[in-house]
Chains A and B, each alone.
Chain A
């Protein structure tokens, strides 16, 4: 069974069709790099998967749960789908520890001591064990983004969505975040990530999905899609990002 399945998903903002009958299956353990020009609907695709945006047509499933069914408990569903945003969105008034333990204690009713252990483990995975008592504004962008990843991991999601999580970072900080993603990939985490890091997509991704005008325009194994693009749109996109 696919972990995530999109069937003819259509998403509109008013008159503007942002996702146009998108179909996509994500199998457990896959690492899918979503690429495409600005405005092609990449972020919207991710946001629809965890129900942050309602859709106007088609169906989205996460395991057996239909995301766009009004009867679905979105809060339950979101525990299975982690998302990390470009702008980190840590809670500025809470310590790193509390940022991570908030959802486990409040949503999953985990006892505080257990949640603290969980936070320690999650921070170890992103290499920030020494920052557990810091506040977000005391951290660099790269560190904040790693805390955001740890916060999401602490909910033990089945699939993680990453939306250009290195785009707001200074070049010298991108590497540390990508390293965390690579480690997650090695541990078998299923991931859907919007990225402009073509090297990362090629080396770590199991599949590349190229979005254009709200459609899945081309997809396949990274080496094939990036090395031998079939459509002129994909060719010109690759030309513009690689030079």
Chain B
């Protein structure tokens, strides 16, 4: 029953890595759009809307990601909707990312001096115009490093999607282990593959951070 880990296994693992990347991309794009909207609600000059955003952020940051994934996968099933692991994971990770990105980006927006808001308000710009033309372009500069940092976390966290049968890198590792009974070798390879995805991103993020510090 026990066999060596062969090159075909490796190929399958690498192939499964694509789904790790696909889920990450989905969560990042979905969470980015949603997170931008929530960040704006969070800072908009309207209290009830702020509370709504705070509630969203707190609820998501205060519960385990695994629980969120289960809610979407099993929760929908209870109401008679059968959702695929793809949909459940995509939605759960997007929502998870939205809360964290909203908070990261709010910090970046608040790093823009208050006087920039005042100067643009005094010229008659509306809140959305202030954001779009004055504040967000300046916040973007500081936003890149922490955003990439979160992306790296996100990639590693997609491994939790394996619990609902979403076949990505970690799940493929479990399957390969089941076939070979060589967990150490297989998870070693899995770890290396994660590292190969995340390391360049971390490096890039640090590079951007250094460049920003020099530009100051």
Q: Which residues of A contact B (CB under 8 A)?
A: 50, 52, 75-76, 78-79, 81-83, 85, 87, 89-93, 102-103, 106-107, 151-152, 155
Q: Which 8 A/B pairs are nearest by Cβ-Cβ distance?
A: A89-B119, A103-B123, A107-B124, A89-B115, A78-B124, A75-B124, A83-B122, A79-B124
Query: Pick the contact of A102 from B115, B118, B133, B141 — CB < 8 Å?
Result: B133
Other A-B pairs beyond A89-B119, A91-B134, 16, CB < 8 Å: A52-B122, A76-B124, A78-B122, A79-B124, A82-B122, A85-B118, A90-B119, A91-B116, A92-B138, A93-B141, A102-B125, A102-B134, A106-B129, A106-B133, A107-B124, A107-B129
A107 to B128, CA, bound (A): 12
Q: Mark B85-122, 1 if CB is under 8 A from A, else 0.
A: 00000000000000000000000000000011011111
A146 to B157, CA, bound (A): 52
Q: Which residues of A contact B126 (CB under 8 A)?
A: 75
Q: Which residues of B contact A87 (CB under 8 A)?
A: 115
Q: Which residues of B contact A106 (CB under 8 A)?
A: 125, 129, 133
Expressed in whole angstroms, the minimum distance between the Cβ of B85 and any Cβ of chain A is 43
Q: How many residues of B contact A (CB 8 A)?
A: 17
Q: Which residues of A contact B138 (CB under 8 A)?
A: 91-93
The verdict on B137 contacting chain A, using a C-beta distance below 8 Å, is yes
Contacts A91-B134, A92-B138, A93-B137 given; does A107 touch B115 at CB 8 Å: no
Q: Which residues of A contact B124 (CB under 8 A)?
A: 75-76, 78-79, 103, 107, 155
A91 to B133, CA, bound (A): 9
A184 to B56, CA, bound (A): 51
Q: Which residues of A contact B118 (CB under 8 A)?
A: 52, 85, 89
Q: Which residues of A contact B134 (CB under 8 A)?
A: 91, 102
| Pair B116/A107 contact, Cβ less than 8 Å | no
Q: Can you sample 11 A-B contacts with CB below 8 Å? A: A75-B125, A78-B123, A79-B124, A85-B115, A89-B115, A89-B116, A89-B118, A93-B137, A93-B141, A103-B125, A151-B123
A93 to B113, CA, bound (A): 13
A115 to B115, CA, bound (A): 24
Which chain B residue shows the least CB distance to A77?
B124
Those of B160-212 within 8 Å (CB) of chain A: none
Q: Which residues of B contact A (CB under 8 A)?
A: 115-116, 118-126, 129, 133-134, 137-138, 141
Which chain A residue shows the least CB distance to B114?
A89
Please indicate which of the listed interface residues A76, A87, A102, A152 has the most CB atoms of chain B within 10 Å of its own CB.
A102
| Pair B115/A155 contact, Cβ less than 8 Å | no
Which chain A residue shows the least CB distance to B113?
A89
Q: Which residues of A contact B133 (CB under 8 A)?
A: 91, 102, 106
A219 to B57, CA, bound (A): 54
Which chain B residue shows the least CB distance to A90?
B119
Q: Which residues of A contact B141 (CB under 8 A)?
A: 93
Which chain B residue shows the least CB distance to A92?
B138
Q: Which residues of B contact A91 (CB under 8 A)?
A: 116, 119-120, 133-134, 138
A78 to B118, CA, bound (A): 11
A9 to B118, CA, bound (A): 22
A155 to B124, CA, bound (A): 9
A85 to B118, CA, bound (A): 10
Q: Which residues of B contact A83 (CB under 8 A)?
A: 122
Q: Which residues of B contact A76 (CB under 8 A)?
A: 124
A123 to B110, CA, bound (A): 31
A50 to B133, CA, bound (A): 21
A85 to B121, CA, bound (A): 13
Q: Which residues of A contact B119 (CB under 8 A)?
A: 85, 89-91
| Pair A107/B125 contact, Cβ less than 8 Å | yes
A89 to B116, CA, bound (A): 6
Expressed in whole angstroms, the minimum distance between the Cβ of A207 and any Cβ of chain B is 24
Please indicate which of the listed interface residues A50, A82, A89 has the most CB atoms of chain B within 10 Å of its own CB.
A89
Q: Which residues of A contact B120 (CB under 8 A)?
A: 91, 103
Q: Which residues of B contact A75 (CB under 8 A)?
A: 124-126
A155 to B116, CA, bound (A): 17
A69 to B160, CA, bound (A): 54
Q: Which residues of A contact B123 (CB under 8 A)?
A: 78, 102-103, 107, 151-152, 155
Q: Which residues of A contact B115 (CB under 8 A)?
A: 85, 87, 89
